[in-house]
Amino acid sequence: MPAEDGADAPDHYFTERPRSASQRRELRFLFRGSVLVFEVDHGVFGSSGLDPGTALLIESLGVRPGDRVLDLGCGWGAVGVAAAKAAPEGRVIMTDVNRRAIALSRRNLRRNKIPNAEVRAGSLFGSLEGETFDVIATNPPFHAGRELILELLTAAPDHLADGGRLLVVGKGSQGIRFYQEWLAEHWAAEVTVLARGGGYRVIEARRRPAIDQA
Tell me the per-residue pLDDT of 73-125, one tens digit each, with 9 for 90 and over. 999 999 999 999 999 999 999 999 999 999 999 999 999 999 999 999 999 99
In the chain, domain spans = 51-207
| Residue 4 clears pLDDT 80, i.e. is over it | no
17 three-class SS: coil
Residues in the chain: 214
Domain covering 51-207: architecture: 3-Layer(aba) Sandwich (3.40)
Helices 78-86 and 52-59 meet at what angle, rounded to 10?
A: 10
d(CA 113, CA 130) in angstroms, rounded, equals 28
pLDDT digits (tens, 9 = 90+) for 6-59: 333 345 555 666 667 777 889 999 999 999 999 998 888 888 889 999 999 999
Question: What pLDDT score does 144 carry?
Answer: 87
Residue type, 84: A
CA dist 149 → 10, 128, 153, 172 (Å):
22, 17, 6, 15
Percent of the residues in the chain that have a pLDDT greater than 70, as a whole number: 87
> Phi, psi at residue 168, to the nearest 5°?
-130, 135
Residue of 28, 32, 35, 82 lying closest to 57 (CA atoms): 82
pLDDT digits (tens, 9 = 90+) for 126-142: 999 999 999 999 999 99
Given a contact cutoff of 8 angstroms between Cβ atoms, the answer to whether 145 and 175 are in contact is no
Residue of 174, 161, 170 lying closest to 200 (CA atoms): 170
